[in-house]
Structure 1
């Protein structure tokens, strides 16, 4: 169980994590560098699965995802509300679902690393917050909303 202040720090930290992990997806130039790095890493580690070359529409989708995740991350860094943490957890369930789908259909095993972190952040952000939404407040204090 989190205190309200701990949960705000968690939401802010998840925003920083997302910003750092997805910033390279936001532009075609940074994504091409990341794609090459991921491809080289997968080959060097002899990982199963593939990382195909990206066509312009693939690049567009990667850049759109990177752009919106960066905006969402900055929002949570600047204003780490509990509601944003809960919505982020739901988004992570969706991302994890599509990452698992990709892994099951031959995508590079490198996706497993981000899948692990998606699930970890999701679980952390779904834990209850003390004194909020039906959780008992500490003795002598009103619940924090």
Structure 2
């Protein structure tokens, strides 16, 4: 089974909604992806390419994504609660939403790790606390 595992350092971000604007002179409506999202997607793509060694799932091959989003415990909580968070007894119930994290990863790897994100057949995603924030991502061919 083909797979690539890589990390994206830094605070996990979710995909924001597309911005829609109307051109006052022509009346045309146009949507675009916010620059912050584009930069984060390019960062994910670069981290993947550093580890890929030519990995690419052609059209027609099903894809499985595994994503672990790691967040730092808040500094404002007690040491005992921080320990509970780091040991997995308390999970991050905060933004970004897990579905938006999945979306930004899927869009970033579109055309780079696989032909199109319609190939994604299974996603396993979780949010957790950790001493180091970031994303742990595995892209693999799904074999059921």
TM-score by length of 2: 0.27
Decide which structure has greater strand share: 2
Structure ranking higher on relative contact order (CA contacts 8 Å, 6+ apart): 2
TM-score by length of 1: 0.27
